Structure 1
């Protein structure tokens, strides 16, 4: 008996450890702390729903898990509409309630929208969740559980919601050998070796998390693609994943290696205009759809950073994308063609090359092709001006690509909440076709009436127990889903939701944690790349500062290519006097940014070679401001440390300890960034550090001698 009790105790301990690890993400469904709110929730523990599909089975299980966790009450699910207080879930045709709206109004909610409405009937409060499809019902239920997890009242609830973007996607850079390129949270969660016969329960929790924030598409493999995933044996493995994801409303995409017809097809060429190549892709698409009828399509990185593509055969991006589009079109599949291209053979400013390659092709792509464009024209830098392709491609759907995994933002050891950065990009006015055409309005189709719309995030998910390495990195996954559903949501609202569901509902602690999150991105920019500096990270691994690096095999992989520091100043001149990259933006932006006196401070070194002695608006020189920004970044991390200590009693012990240690690492690395960069740039400015800026702890030679041969994330 004693042995049995000990076993039970260990089991309970393991569940508690799992709960404190962050594994449950924002779906932990913790006990509601507000007694009045909790009692009101118990009135809704009777649920009416006809359970007649796999998705409705998922809904039932989610409601059961959530109600027992939040209220301690088990829900009772019935088929009889005649209930007292409770929740009624069904398609609009099943509910047949005039109060939901006219058929025309309900039809506008589409296949994924939903409506939540609380009504009082004969003195009883009932909450109706209605949609046009089961997937819409699932999204509506998750929104209800989000409201309950944040301890909001359900009385007088009236919400009508549908996604603004059609494709809400995670791009995994996972390799078939379970390494993850630019991943900092362990190995890939996909175990290709055991699929299709062994399907890990973790895939279910992954699908639940994505569905809860509206993500409806997943690209499973690295954009630096391996053709093996398109073989028959691996397609059977992909089918197992697609079958699991389908009831959660998630479509599977695969990265297509352009040279696959050669590597796995036995052909001598992958020329997109070759008849045999076209036929090979047609047959491969037919094979895929015979296994996965709702397969989403292909994500393609071509003629970029050494990847094969149509230009290998003297063709262009239209030739390559349209050949694949023709293979997918009979099955309603999509081609997502990445616009991250630049050539070592082209002496042009790397900033300009995507625009130069794609704008002349606008309107020539097939109707089932989208261009996936990074938020900025260089490469996921801590801060970038919005990509000039947003607004320039008026006849070709352009979707957003953000990076969740923090390749250039300290990896999973730095607390950096990315929603403010996402908002900065989405809010930027492209002035195309007119003033007020923000990036958000471009990608949601408002500006140019795109047939397809979307937003993707490069996933920061791995095998770590908490999924993302840093507990706060979960918030970036969450933010991606929420902004893809509604690109107008504020960073503050998203942070409020995530904190309450994930860490604590204590009002004071929530506000403190939100302060940490909202200042974290600006802190990181300041201690890494202030005032428009960019791409000065360590070569290859991108870990830590290395502004001195100049030994790469191609010029635009050198840090010195981007900052161009000399005795006169620092920064890349992209004005008319330089590379003229500014000409790719609309006239109002050109006029403002061309003038060193009117450009925003945060873009200075992006577009100007700024003299060290240039006087800025605060009356201090650029060198003084640069130095102070680096110090502000360090001081900001120290402030984050202090704020975090003040919430100890309101968050679980395990996560408090983990974040405390990670903030210590971040603080040390912030100092390293400040010291190494200022020591190096000072060799050009020849100016002393201004008052208030701490001198470097070591010599420049020390920082230059540091080596990191096993920095994580390189994917091999």
Structure 2
């Protein structure tokens, strides 16, 4: 392990400033800060049993300090240097009393600066020492005062997971950063060293679980050949505290086992899954468990046999036993779309509350539709108090401009996590609903690919970073996370950090304004989900068509989900339903999601619905122009390569924001027949021109 880390240390600088190093970009510090650091850490001492995780921690510390001190950081048996201390070892005698207290979840750590300046990282387990090492390095990278120590931290959620939608052939569904990093064809004989850097990056932000294959996976991933490949991945990720999960196809007993059925109540099916779980655990002793998409978008599941989601999940959970968990996705909608789409997951799962085994997690998307730029939270989060619910977020920007548009998603994640009016008493936040306990879970659909910069664009790295930080601690603010990321990724220069954070923080709202303002949703093109297509009305199911969601016509626009319409509001607890129904909020984030309005209705902003809609579209375009101008002003403060790459993508975003604005206004004006408000320009092309655009080469399909 130490040899692999040393090798990577030599490789990384050869590709300087191409984004490969992510936020683990160790660069020389100011002379005064370096002098203080040299006094604090002349040597590194370790009082913990030898393990691959301890090797990873010491390797990371030495990697960084070698840059900062311009010399190797020697490991010493005693002295006054930096100390890694397991609290069950003799070194614990030097710790403050509070450091030895056992927290609820693994990975907690404490960093203390004792009298005389010595720094001690302490934890009750090896992974806590690794997380503590990364936390110290994060503070130093920002050149934060070492006087701010001590600090202590612990995860609020047990399973902090990336869900990869990677396929057998190396493609990535909804992936916008190149092909899969897992290189299935080469495994298990060759494991790309890049996967060690992937593990480092995940561990640095507290991610401890990875589902390595697409939720639409074939049963191939459960064959002995692919179990061996997955075991090689697990061996690489294990030193960094990361457990591997597999997406499992529910029909595997038929597909692979030659059985006539996959009925979860069939004894032969149950035996097949127990044997398969035993086979996997023999190869991967710390295997995390199965992630399952069932009876959704054509995937097989227990309902094919007249059984419930609980029947299917519990059968698999019993095959896994106490060794792991089964994560059962709640992203389902009925084959017969008679019930309004956003209500269907609630109807399918809420009656099953309390029927799932203890090692089942029902994984619920943040909103009731499908990862839109803005959605209300899923009503399931307030409706299943006797079931362990996990939160599923999307890091890859399927509906948010792919990797082309700058959209910092921490405000989206934070908006969902901070939503109140949930829980048994109707007062808990979503973060509180999903936190605590050994199977608590927050998962994010990964945006990682084989592009040299990992995520397709430099700023999309921030969404991976922000997901990990908020999964660890949902109380962190989006602004603080943006500043952490900017300081580590570019430079710890306060004016630069201020400027980058000022770009990032409004970027998601800017995108909402030029794509889906005022609570509109699902206006994207079919299949590829790229570009505006609010006119699409010819797909096989009504709820696959954008017209289903905006319902615009000559009279007005919006989906009535109040008691006079679908009554989706009734699925929420009363305080949250009242909040979502409020039409007086000047921000009007949910207006057309929950209400149908006439074009000439006067809003709380003083404008009519039509005028407000056009105003929001133009505000979005102006917001992208402001980001581009701010970034241009940083020329010379950011290295030329990354500055140029970001500037080029911002120019694309400027053009595409106008495309979104113009195509949407052209379509809605064809229905409303209203003139544009004074001072607002007409679309650049005719509606027919926008409707004629095709994108068969769009990535991620």
Q: TM-score under structure 2 normalisation?
A: 0.96
Corresponding position: 1:135 with 2:135: no
Deviation per CA, 1:169-195: give whole Å up to 9, x if none.
000000010000000000000111111
| Residues 598 and 513 (structure 1), Cα distance of their counterparts in 2 relative to 1, 3 Å cut | closer
Equivalent residue runs for 1:524-563 within 5 Å: 524-563=511-550
| Residues 544 and 641 (structure 1), Cα distance of their counterparts in 2 relative to 1, 3 Å cut | same
Distance in 1 between the 2:532 and 2:192 partners? 39
Distance in 2 between the 1:18 and 1:579 partners? 55
Runs of 4+ in structure 1 over 6 Å off: 11-14
Distance in 2 between the 1:594 and 1:110 partners? 38
Q: CA deviation at 1:28?
A: 1.1
- The residue matched to 1:401 in structure 2 has which SS? strand
Equivalent residue runs for 1:49-448 within 5 Å: 49-50=46-47, 52-80=50-78, 83-84=79-80, 86-98=81-93, 100-102=95-97, 106-108=101-103, 110-120=105-115, 124-155=116-147, 157-329=149-321, 331-445=322-436
Deviates more, 1:148-157 or 1:252-261: 148-157
8 Å CA contact retained: 2:99, 2:110: no
Q: CA deviation at 1:65?
A: 1.1
Distance in 2 between the 1:61 and 1:581 partners? 53
What is the number of equivalent residue pairs in this alignment?
692
What is aligned with 1:651? 638
8 Å CA contact retained: 2:87, 2:100: no
8 Å CA contact retained: 1:302, 1:308: yes
Distance in 1 between the 2:288 and 2:472 partners? 18
Distance in 1 between the 2:160 and 2:528 partners? 28
| Residues 199 and 593 (structure 1), Cα distance of their counterparts in 2 relative to 1, 3 Å cut | closer
8 Å CA contact retained: 1:258, 1:309: yes
Equivalent residue runs for 1:654-669 within 5 Å: 654-669=641-656
- The counterpart of 2:44, out of the listed 31, 42, 47, is 47
Q: CA deviation at 1:12?
A: 13
Corresponding position: 1:698 with 2:698: no
What is aligned with 2:676? 689
8 Å CA contact retained: 2:585, 2:604: no
What is aligned with 1:8? none
Alpha-carbon RMSD across the aligned residues, in angstroms, is 1.8
- The residue matched to 2:114 in structure 1 has which SS? strand
| Residues 644 and 599 (structure 1), Cα distance of their counterparts in 2 relative to 1, 3 Å cut | closer
Q: CA deviation at 1:15?
A: 5.8
Deviation per CA, 1:544-594: give whole Å up to 9, x if none.
000000111111100101111011111111111111100000112323444
8 Å CA contact retained: 2:292, 2:328: yes
Q: CA deviation at 1:30?
A: 1.3
| Residues 260 and 92 (structure 1), Cα distance of their counterparts in 2 relative to 1, 3 Å cut | same
Equivalent residue runs for 1:561-576 within 5 Å: 561-576=548-563
Q: CA deviation at 1:682?
A: 0.5
8 Å CA contact retained: 2:337, 2:542: no
8 Å CA contact retained: 2:9, 2:63: no
| Residues 269 and 474 (structure 1), Cα distance of their counterparts in 2 relative to 1, 3 Å cut | same
Deviation per CA, 1:183-223: give whole Å up to 9, x if none.
00000001111111111101100000000000000000000
What is aligned with 1:578? 565
Deviation per CA, 1:690-709: give whole Å up to 9, x if none.
12322111000000000111
Equivalent residue runs for 1:443-454 within 5 Å: 443-445=434-436, 452-454=439-441
Q: TM-score under structure 1 normalisation?
A: 0.94
Distance in 1 between the 2:216 and 2:9 partners? 43
